[in-house]
Structure 1
Amino acid sequence: MRYLYTLAMYLVTPFIMLRLLARGVRYRDYHRRWRERFGFPSAPAVSGSLWVHAVSVGEVNAAEPLIKALRDSYPNAPLVVTTVTPTGSERVRQLFGDSVVHVYLPYDLPFAVSRFLQRVRPRMAIIVETEIWPNLYFACRRRGIPLMIVNARLSERSLRGYRPMGGLVRSALSCVCLIAAQSRTDAARYRLLGADPATILVSGNMKFDMPVADDAVPAGEELRQQWGRLRPVWIAGSTHEGEELPVLEAHLEVLKRLPDALLLIAPRHPERFKMVEHSARSLGFSVATRSADRVPSASHQVFVIDAMGELMPFYAAADLAFVGGSLIPIGGHNVLEPAALSTPVLVGPHTFNFEEITLTLIREGGAARVKGKEQLGKEVLRLLLDTERRARMGASARIVFDSERGAVRRVMGLIDKQLQE
């Protein structure tokens, strides 16, 4: 199975490269640093590093408190952070600057993996959430590099996707010394996937430990002062293709009852910024953007947040937040960011990436679910008109966020123990 998998990886690599070329037409960072994807890091060689892999923006945000804890506890160990996407790379740069070494994770080809590990020489490999690459895992075991999966999650969809490669995935997971799962459900799914039950424990979700910037709330207050403190404002964060048009149509519905309402919309991927702006203008909205206008004025109806890593002040400024990736089967994005700021949360029907967190928020009254695109406008309007309900939801969301913290402390204890051994 492993030989067949490796052969398949060699065969599909040209198509992966073509896909990167195509994506780079709209977002040029995909055209940069290609050599790193074949195990030629542009950064200087290091030795004895602590290596953290976080595939993209969401995983980098989840790993932020852990990376900072590692930096504080092991100041003499080089910290290497790998991502797969340019947006993840940009987020690493925003959060950590030059205090960590960032490179792209190489494709799961034996020669590329070997060259990468020779260059960074990690004392430990820490994979955040769900990234199972057999050749990489086997190479770590061969070199005696302890490998952990932390904040581990596995959706039902991912479980089904891995099952056709059951034997290979089971062998790869045998290379892992510890799986710190987000929840009991994730732990059970890893067992079903073939991981050794003795290596699995539940540590909680590190995203509850994400730092809430001290200036997020004051910055949100300042934004509200600029666009009109009493205006009804809602935000659609981390939206995808197939969601932006329904969000804009929902805002048309809102404007019929609340003509001074403002929609803040933050597309998940930078290559969609211009498309969303054009879509809003084509529907007749008065549109402003973060890059051109900085903040919307009283006359603007839609504000496109065409910048990365700036959601928190806007979540703080909004009366309610719709979290994207949930109207279509992407699986949803981080509902904890608005919850941390006491902002009521709306989600669509597809939240399998944040299954237990979302269900907890809904059960405790901090979030509400819309069944489909046609319900979004009605529910947004209902909440914008109900100040008391929004206040209750926001307070409940913050209580859930505060009550679940502590996962990073537990994971750091596990890392410390493993390094001592």
Structure 2
Amino acid sequence: MIWLYNFLLFILLIPALPLIFVKSLTNRRLRYKLTERFLPKSVDIEDYILIHTSSFGETKAVLKFSEELKKTTGLKILFSVFTDTAYELVKNKNVILMPLDLYPLYKKLFRTKPKLAIFFETEIWPSYLKYLKKHKIPAILINGRMSKRSFDRYKKFSFFFKGIINSFNLIIAKSKEDAKRFAYFNKNTIVCGNIKKYKAKQTFENAKKDLRIETTKPILVLASFHKEEIDLSVSIIDAFKERFFIILAPRHLEDIETFESRLKSNRIKYTKRTDKKTSTNILLLNTMGELEKAYSIAEISIVGGSFDEKLKGHNPIEPLIYNNLTITGPYMESFKEETEELINKGIIYQLKKESDYLNQIEEIINKKRKIETEDFFIGLRYILDCYLVHTLKAFREI
């Protein structure tokens, strides 16, 4: 079956190659190390654990876990990532860019083979897992996440996906609901909670000065907004720019020009982070890896990716570490359990669907209730420990 998958993928790739080449001329992210997608460089380190993630956020979420794993096992860590932003985050570590999911490419990639392979959340790649299994390399899926839509699709094609998901020696799911879905295909499934909950507050020396912000106003962050939410972001800026200094952080850097164009057409003055000029009203954050620095000086954060049903939300926990009054949109499927828990604890606010978002935001802000989250985060070390204990236990027993 895996050879049929590879054959079909290869056949589809042939007509797609000219389009990929043309699009890469104007799309920086697609162009990034493109040749390594087809001709991967061979791994040249030994005695290592492979950790595969996709995006910047996923990679950032496993950094502490990887450090603890390295310390406990004495083995090196090699990151396998899918996106350019994830690669840039760990480029000073051992890192490879995942090639196209064709079996022969993994034969070229893994000159030396890992002792253990760890995949994150939804990273279920048939050829990747088949290669590891054939070479008797144990694989573990951590923070396993499976939406109802994915479950229905996998179930429909279970003749193919059951074997793939069964390739994992252990699946550690982020919730009971996810675990139940994974257990349909693989009985070696347990629950440890969402590892993205575990966060350690960083200390940023002179963050406001470093970001070149000069203001006495409280700071409001519009975090990880997508281009689908651009109308709302501009409306929020227009409504609150007199009361707050606003940091607008688009989710994807390739959308910066779209956001700029809209700000200009609405005659909203702003400064880009890369302008290296002092900003006194609105800062457009067009750099990677500085959102947490913005949270550290903010009072209020509105988390994007949650105002369009197709986007399914982003992590609401990150701004809470810095006691931000945190607001999300109604669409938080990717963080459903976490959002419900935080709402029940009264430390985040979720806007209602099909209602005036600006009025809802105004009402929440006017409450001016101080958010204290220290007790909540103190208790989260157990999640990281759970992942470490069960990963090491499975590794030693395999």
Flag the 1:368–1:9 CA change in 2: closer, same or farther, 3 A. Answer: same
Flag the 1:20–1:375 CA change in 2: closer, same or farther, 3 A. Answer: farther
Aligned to 1:48: 47
Distance apart, 1:287 and its partner CA: 0.7
Aligned to 1:371: 352
Aligned to 2:203: 214
Q: Deviations over 1:117-163 (max 9, x none)?
A: x3241110000111111222121111010000011112223323433
Which one-letter code corresponds to 1:228 in the other structure? T
Whole-angstrom distance in 1 between the partners of 2:130 and 2:351: 43
Flag the 1:402–1:344 CA change in 2: closer, same or farther, 3 A. Answer: farther
Higher relative contact order (CA 8 A, sep 6+): 1
Aligned to 2:31: 31
User: Is the partner of 2:227 in helix, strand or coil?
Assistant: coil
Distance apart, 1:236 and its partner CA: 1.2
- Listed as ranges, the matches of 1:30-109 within 5 Å are 30-38=30-38, 40-41=40-41, 45-75=44-74, 77-93=75-91, 97=92, 100-109=93-102
- Listed as ranges, the matches of 1:184-203 within 5 Å are 184-192=176-184, 194-196=185-187, 199-203=188-192
User: Is the partner of 1:60 in helix, strand or coil?
Assistant: helix
Aligned to 1:320: 300
Flag the 1:17–1:405 CA change in 2: closer, same or farther, 3 A. Answer: farther
TM-score (norm. length: structure 2) = 0.91
Q: Is the counterpart of residue 148 in structure 1 residue 140 in structure 2?
A: yes
Q: Is the counterpart of residue 283 in structure 1 residue 247 in structure 2?
A: no
Distance apart, 1:16 and its partner CA: 6.2
Flag the 1:291–1:223 CA change in 2: closer, same or farther, 3 A. Answer: closer
Whole-angstrom distance in 2 between the partners of 1:26 and 1:209: 38
Distance apart, 1:168 and its partner CA: 1.1
Whole-angstrom distance in 1 between the partners of 2:314 and 2:49: 27
Whole-angstrom distance in 2 between the partners of 1:210 and 1:23: 37
Aligned to 2:376: 400
Q: Is the counterpart of residue 385 in structure 1 residue 376 in structure 2?
A: no
Flag the 1:374–1:308 CA change in 2: closer, same or farther, 3 A. Answer: farther
Distance apart, 1:373 and its partner CA: 7.5
Q: Deviations over 1:274-332 (max 9, x none)?
A: 221221121111111111035521xx2x3110000101121122221111111112111
Q: Deviations over 1:355-402 (max 9, x none)?
A: 111111111111111234763322332233332x2x1xx21x444333
Whole-angstrom distance in 1 between the partners of 2:211 and 2:36: 43
Flag the 1:166–1:261 CA change in 2: closer, same or farther, 3 A. Answer: same
Aligned to 2:337: 356
Aligned to 1:227: 214
Q: Is the 8 A contact 2:130 2:164 kept in 1?
A: yes
User: Is the partner of 1:286 in helix, strand or coil?
Assistant: coil
Aligned to 1:267: 250
Whole-angstrom distance in 1 between the partners of 2:128 and 2:219: 46
Whole-angstrom distance in 1 between the partners of 2:90 and 2:350: 32
Which one-letter code corresponds to 1:58 in the other structure? G
Whole-angstrom distance in 2 between the partners of 1:22 and 1:366: 47
Whole-angstrom distance in 1 between the partners of 2:260 and 2:271: 8
Whole-angstrom distance in 2 between the partners of 1:225 and 1:131: 38
Distance apart, 1:39 and its partner CA: 5.3
Q: Is the 8 A contact 2:78 2:96 kept in 1?
A: yes
Whole-angstrom distance in 2 between the partners of 1:401 and 1:24: 42
TM-score (norm. length: structure 1) = 0.86
Whole-angstrom distance in 1 between the partners of 2:379 and 2:324: 16
2:121 aligns with one of 104, 129, 140: 129
Flag the 1:27–1:266 CA change in 2: closer, same or farther, 3 A. Answer: farther
Whole-angstrom distance in 1 between the partners of 2:142 and 2:277: 37
Distance apart, 1:340 and its partner CA: 1.3
Distance apart, 1:220 and its partner CA: 4.7
Whole-angstrom distance in 2 between the partners of 1:367 and 1:201: 28
**Is the helix fraction higher in 1 or 2?**
1
User: Is the partner of 1:172 in helix, strand or coil?
Assistant: helix
Q: What RMSD in Å do the two structures reach over aligned CA positions?
A: 2.4
Which one-letter code corresponds to 1:110 in the other structure? Y
Whole-angstrom distance in 2 between the partners of 1:331 and 1:38: 31
Identity of aligned residues (%): 23
User: Is the partner of 1:80 in helix, strand or coil?
Assistant: strand
Give the gaps of 5 or more residues in structure 1: none
Q: Is the 8 A contact 1:336 1:401 kept in 2?
A: no
Which one-letter code corresponds to 2:150 in the other structure? S
Q: Is the 8 A contact 2:272 2:284 kept in 1?
A: yes
Give the gaps of 5 or more residues in structure 2: none
Flag the 1:294–1:114 CA change in 2: closer, same or farther, 3 A. Answer: farther
Flag the 1:225–1:287 CA change in 2: closer, same or farther, 3 A. Answer: closer
Q: Is the 8 A contact 1:345 1:366 kept in 2?
A: yes
